[in-house]
Every structure is written in structure tokens, then in C-alpha cells.
Amino acid sequence: MSVSPARRAAYEVLLRVFEQEAYADRAFRTAAEGLDERERAFAQRLAYGSVQRVRTLDYAIDTLGKRPVRKLDKPIRAALRLGAYQLGYTDTAPHAAVNESVELVRRAQLERAVPFTNAVMRRLADGIGPLLASLPDGPLKESYPDWIHETFVRVLGGDGALALMRAMNEPLETVVRLVSGEPPLGAEPTDVPGAFRVERVDNLAVADGRIWPQSRGSQLAALCLGAQDGERILDLCAAPGGKTGALRGDVTAVEIDPHRASELRANLATMGRGDVTVVEADGTALPPELNRFDRVLVDAPCSGLGVLSQRPDLRWRATPLAELQTALLRSAAERVRPGGTILYSVCTLNPDECEAVVDASGLRIEPLGDEWPQYTHPSRPEFLLTLPHVHGTSGFFVARLIAD
């Protein structure tokens, strides 16, 4: 029996993400090489959905398969997860999900495990629907680590946390930033200037430097810096460069990782921003000549709890980075001129990385809520907080600060 190219690709992604600690997007790019557009879309849905839902899938396999997932051989574990996802969350014909999962185990040269895999898959085919329906609302049913659910409850309460988790288990809107020329055909303007909602990203238009894929939340952060022509602007954590490319003025972009710095240069060139100076340096220990900037953008590394929809594996590896964020904000305050502006943004909703970092900085807050009332933070109106379940875009915290 054959295995469809899409299922084979998704299976490879599951193996690499959970057994080799690969990133899902990178693993998928390799696994999906050679697939046509339809197969690629199906493979991505299976791979990313299985990675997102793995906590719930493992619970179903443990319960119905009657053997702990953690004790299974790696190929069996990946095949069962892929099959369980198809049975629980897609309209795939049960016999196709069962038979191809069994075949994946056979092709892994685990013939001895074929009867077991077949038996578990048949139990899943009969029982996963009722089992999923019986789960109480919460992190097990929506497949999130408990600590992330608890963080969301702190910010939004129980109902809000549930709505947010559900929203980030589904694709959000697709938005591009207009770099030059006219908006793409059929593009819909949004409430963020220069941001257009599209059905899909035109890769040719990206390569030509006409548009750049970038969520409204991300574009909002760059806009709030307020960079102007003639000003000296510092972007402290610049790669991959979406925000950098949107900044006016004499821009210096800092990136610590050489590979990401190369990617940053390439992306800026694509966007026609050869005027940006890229410096490879640690944002917390900058060269002395980088000082007295008019404005500094600190789009800091973070746990990424606002972009879990776009990065299916991130929920399983996310880590709060408040100490690094505090150090970067302190560095920015040392390099901006007196009275200069610092824009602090993170693509997370974790208060420990958002409000707490700003409050600890001692910098003066310049309120943003009146400028962008639709994105006002629900409990701290001086800040902005974009919410996937409310606004349909990635989750970003944005604070504008003044160095006195």
C-alpha cells in the first residue's frame, strides 16, 4: 500500500519536531520539497495541526490505545499522532487515516508493531470523537501547556483565555505591508495605515519588493515609534527586518546572530532599504559609537505567546525572557538622547514580559490609548495590546517611553 506524499511529509515533520527538536517551519520546508500546491497545503494542515494538538492527541492515544505514548517507538508515536489528528480534527476518511498510519510504521521497518498500530488506530477511529467531545473546556481540550493557560487567565479571565486559545488554534488573517506601488489586486485596507488584508501572499510581489508579509500587530509596533525623516533611529533587535524596513530616518539595525544578520540584510535589500546600516552586536553591550539616537525600537525576544497561531511548535518550547528584555530596555535608555523616544514591543501577552518590564524600567510612559483606542490594553490603557480572538491579528504588547 502507498502513503500519500502529503502524509509522508507531515509524518517527517512530526518526527523532526518531537524527536529531533527541529522547528516546525524549517522541518516543513524540507519535507514538503517537490509537493504540488494542493499536496503542500494538505501536508501543512496535517503537520501543523498535529504539532499544535499533540497534548490532546497523546491523551487520546493513551486513553484509547492503553499504552503510554512516551513508551512507544518514535516512528509509531509519530504515525499514531498523525492518524489521530486526521480522525479527530479533519474530514479524512477513517479507513485512509488508519491504513496509511499502519503503512508508515511498516515502512519504518517495524513490522512487529503493525498489528498494534492497526488495533490502536481502529480504537481511535471508533472513539476519538466522543472522547474529544467529553473533555472539559481548558488547556487539555485546546492543547496548551497549563502555564500558558494560567498566563492567559491572568490577563483575560477564564472566558477570555478560552476564546484566545481557540483563536490561536486556527489561522488568523493574512496581512501584508505595502512597501511600494499600488496595493495587491483585491487587497482590503485595514485600520492600520499601509496594512492590507489578502487571501494569500503573492510571493512574486514580495520578491519584487512591493509588499512584505507582516501582521497588523507587528506593523502597529513600528508605526508607534513615530520615526521621522532626518532623525537617527536605532532598531535594537532587528532581524528578520519587517519592522526595520518600515522605519523612516537614518536607521541603524542591530542583530547579534550572524546568520540572522545576513537574513536581515537580504530582506532589507528586497524591500529597497539599502540605506539601513546593519551592525552585528549584542543589544545589551553596544559599541560606544552607537549613542544619542532620537528614537530606539526595542522589539525584544520573548515567549511569543501572541504568535502561537503562526508557530505551531512554539507553545511547547516557549520561555519567558524578562531578564533579557529588561537588559535591552536599559541599554536603549543609555543610547537614546535625553527626551528621546523608546518603543518597547513584544509578541507576547505575558504580563511578566510586558507591563512588569516597563514598570521596572523607570522610564516615563507616553500613553498610546488615545491614538489607537481599538487596541487599548484592557487593564492598562496607557499601553496597547492586540488580541488574536478580538482583533484577528497576532498578539502584541506596545509601550512608548520617554528617556528624561
Catalytic residue list: 347
- Tell me how far CA of residue 147 lies from CA of 62, 136, 379, 386, 387, in angstroms: 22, 17, 21, 21, 19
Single-letter residue type at 125? A
Reduced 3-state DSSP string for the chain = CCCCHHHHHHHHHHHHHHHHCCCHHHHHHHHCCCCCHHHHHHHHHHHHHHHHCHHHHHHHHHHHHCCCHHHCCHHHHHHHHHHHHHHHHCCCCHHHHHHHHHHHHHHCCCHHHHHHHHHHHHHHHHHHHHHHHHCCCCHHHHCCCHHHHHHHHHHHHHHHHHHHHHHCCCCCCCEEEECCCCCCCCCEECCCCCEEECCCCCHHHHHCCCEEECCHHHHHHHHHHCCCCCCEEEECCCCCCCCHHHCCCEEEEEECCHHHHHHHHHHHHHCCCCCCEEEECCCCCCCCCCCCEEEEEEECCCCCCCCCCCCCCHHHCCCCCHHHHHHHHHHHHHHEEEEEEEEEEECCCCCCCCHHHHHHHCCEEECCCCCCHHHECCCCCCCEECCHHHHCCCCCEEEEEECC
- Cα–Cα dist 358/378, whole Å: 16
